[in-house]
Structure 1
């Protein structure tokens, strides 16, 4: 059994690699999806957020968090952002670990934890090894502009808000190179999957 930490930068193609891993039969646990689940109404993290930030951040119609309002609060105040992270991050880690263990109980050999901020949040202890989806900064910029319809300036801001991809590259065990198009990426993923299976069986 192996837990692999999958990470990347915005526009590197991490989500595409996660889909390709699933197509190869691997279980992928998505940190972003879980982050949404743990703050749904009646979840412990939801209750804790309301206790800290007040009832004003609950949408009266839906009973769910008003993400826009909460976002405005934490964007302007680093201390409040830290308070939010201190509630949400442990809940996400706990749920991810539980889902991985459940997958192993059902016979999975490999579980991939898809964690965008794995390196920045120093979550290496959650996994057995790490793999980074790599593309150049220029490619990141091009892809974000095309995908999100952003201006070059807005796209550059998003990239610059993250740890540089080449810095991340130095901190992981393996690289999946996404600089040469989809067919080349598929080949990279298949080679990586085959190598991991060989490591598990020999």
Structure 2
């Protein structure tokens, strides 16, 4: 059982919106931020998870390790296949995040932020006291990801299409932070949101 003052905040946004930058700014302000992508990478190194993935996607586990590019090619752009992968990975990731969150609460942390790219897609918004969405114009998001991951425009568009539309995320959010400017502007917006929601580390 988590202590009464404990707050659980979700952070999400479409690909290239700037979740990592916002997570860093939160950490700099003293907040505990748990990264679902990091936990997903750890989960997909576990033998039981690899076995479950290989059973559904034969040939993507090579030498006891996940061939991530091969798996990506099998699921991105194919919603039904992506749903199968998510059904394997997401429950395991949520379990790891819950353990880390409980440990933080036990240590006296008042607010834990979970950085979850597919928060709404996974139907986990009800787990949070508030959800922050970071957003940016589509072309800016595409250029960021193309430069960061050395992907083609088509590949990034396919990944973006596999996510809930940004406008829908904005409607479901408790607060939206715009990331079309510089980091100074982002920090100012973040400060205002933390004040409005009365969030403290």
Q: TM-score band, normalised by the shorter chain?
A: 0.7 to 0.9
Do 2:111 and 2:199's aligned partners in 1 also have CA atoms closer than 8 Å?
A: no
Deviation at 1:88, TM superposition (A): 1.0
In 1, Cα distance between equivalents of 2:57 and 2:152: 33
Structure number with bigger Rg: 1
SS of residue matched to 1:90: helix
Does residue 45 of structure 2 align to residue 40 of structure 1?
Answer: yes
Q: Which residue of 2 aligns with 1:58?
A: 61
In 1, Cα distance between equivalents of 2:153 and 2:79: 27
Alignment of 1:19-34 (within 5 A): 19-34=24-39
TM-score for the superposition, normalised by structure 2: 0.82
Of stretches 159-168 and 87-96 in structure 1, the one that deviates more from structure 2 is: 159-168
In 2, Cα distance between equivalents of 1:79 and 1:154: 18
> Quick one: which of 3, 8, 14 aligns to 1:3?
8
Runs of at least 5 residues in structure 2 that lack an aligned partner in the other structure:
1-5
Q: Which residue of 1 aligns with 2:192?
A: 191
In 1, Cα distance between equivalents of 2:171 and 2:78: 32
Q: Alpha carbon RMSD of aligned pairs, Å?
A: 2.7
TM-score for the superposition, normalised by structure 1: 0.82
Question: Which 4+ stretches in 1 moved above 6 angstroms?
Answer: none
Q: Count the aligned residue pairs.
A: 196
